[in-house]
Amino acid sequence: MQPFRFPRPLQPFSSKSQHITRFFSVPLLFFHSPPIPYTSHLIHTTTTTPTQKMSYSSDEDQPDPELLELLRQHLNGKQASHTAAETGVLESAEFVYNHAIDVALDMRGCKKAANTIWDQMQQREYSPATWSTHELHPKDKNEETVQFIFTMDLLNFSFWSEKSEEDRFQVEYRGQRWTGYWSLVAALQRGLEEGIPITDPAFWINDEKFTPDVLRTVFRSATDEEIPLLQERFDCLREAGQVLHEKYDGSVLDLIEEANGSAAALVNLLASDFPCFADIHPYPGRRQPIRILKRAQIFVADLWACFEGQSYGSFADIDKITMFADYRVPQMLWQLGCLLYGPTLEAAVREKKMIEHGGEWEMQLRACSIWCVELIRREIIREHPEAKGKVNAVLIDFFLYDAVKELEKEGGERIPHHRTRSIWY
């Protein structure tokens, strides 16, 4: 496997650069590709000139994806069509990007990153099958693996620590210590080996057998630091178990079947039926909330990757899934010279100050990262037509996450990840 080679970073932000969106008062839009095809044709994009005052577009022009689908069914007199479902995530991301002041994209950086990412993916033969090559990911292609992935993505949030690598939360499993996301996977695997049915939804709703202390045992640490948000993780499992019991006969498979082979429909089901998957937030100037849906989307993506697009991972519209807006991939996009922060935000990130959950900074970081990966995807396909059908936002996200973890291990990070503590990522 070839080591990841990073392109030379761009020069720091300069007001003289013609390639970089300006910060402060008025965001100038560049790299504004044609609007994404959308069946309603109602997506409103606002642009400004340097002398115009920025005004947010009316949210009356922003359709709700689920309501739009119901209207379409009514007008056509048809049964629900899951293949026509839209998550609304990409439209939300474009809206925030169009109005962002503190986060920007660099066109040259995006183009250069697209070529670098595609070249590296080719060299590494990066594909959905790469998911199963990770040491801790389940290898069997069965119902138990589906339950494992569902559990994993219910709890796939907030692993960062201010402690040193030696003192932070770690899970010891099979002679190794694991941190971050891999500490979650290791803890679940260890719990199952110890006879705790931690991936069984029926177990989650058993008040006598499933308690916070049991979950604490599953996530027991090799250090003095406990996993962050342990109670919130317990609540997510209990809530999800109850929803599955009440609506899906206690079965994750029934939930997947309800989506009828549509990735977008499954994301929308998770967002509407499971409050702990509803990564949806208000945003100034828009009546409809911003839909990010990180963990709902990554559940679909993990199924698709694990089962390599077959069986439980077969989705006709997997390309509707976007990048998963967390705290690591934005860091990597900055490292590649694609994502740029305004001076005040960059200072806060470098000083490791807490970024308010649900605030404009956080929304801009997450949404602009989604839009950035979409532009990178488009650039790859534009420059390399043979990539069509082989690369999507899911694989780009997986690749960037693996790359930033390699970078972290080598001590090559030039900026920290932003600090926000929440159950959404």
Q: How far apart are CA 291 and CA 94, in angstroms?
A: 11
Strands (E), 162-242: 171-173, 176-178
Please report the pLDDT score of residue 312 as a whole number. 98
> Is 326 one of the annotated active-site residues of the chain?
yes
Residue 55: the pLDDT is 36
Nearest to 137 by CA among 127, 147, 148, 128: 148
Q: Residue 351 region, left (φ>0) first, then alpha (ψ -120 to 50), else beta? A: alpha
Q: Side chain identity at 37, as an amino acid letter?
A: P
Residue 44 pLDDT level (bands cut at 50, 70, 90): very low
Backbone angles phi, psi at 354, to 5 degrees: -70, 130
Is the pTM above the cut of 0.95?
Answer: no
Average pLDDT over residues 380-386: 96
Poorest-pLDDT segment among 2-16, 278-292, 299-313? 2-16
pLDDT at 298: 98
Check pLDDT > 50 for residue 36. Answer: no
pLDDT (0 to 100) of residue 49? 34
Alpha helix stretches (DSSP H) within 274-316: 294-306
Mean per-residue pLDDT for 334-343? 97
Q: What is the pLDDT of residues 91-117, one digit of tens each?
A: 999 999 999 999 999 999 999 999 999
According to the model, what pLDDT value does residue 29 have?
A: 37
Which among 102, 279, 302, 326 is annotated as catalytic? Answer: 326
- What pLDDT shows up at residue 409? 86
* pLDDT single digits (tens) 195-208: 999 999 999 999 99
- C-alpha torsion sign, points 376, 381, 384, 388: positive
Residue-wise pLDDT for 388-400, tens only, equals: 999 999 999 999 9
Q: Which residues contact 117 (CB under 8 A, 6 or more apart)?
A: 376, 380, 396, 399, 400
- Contact, 210 vs 171, CB < 8 A? no
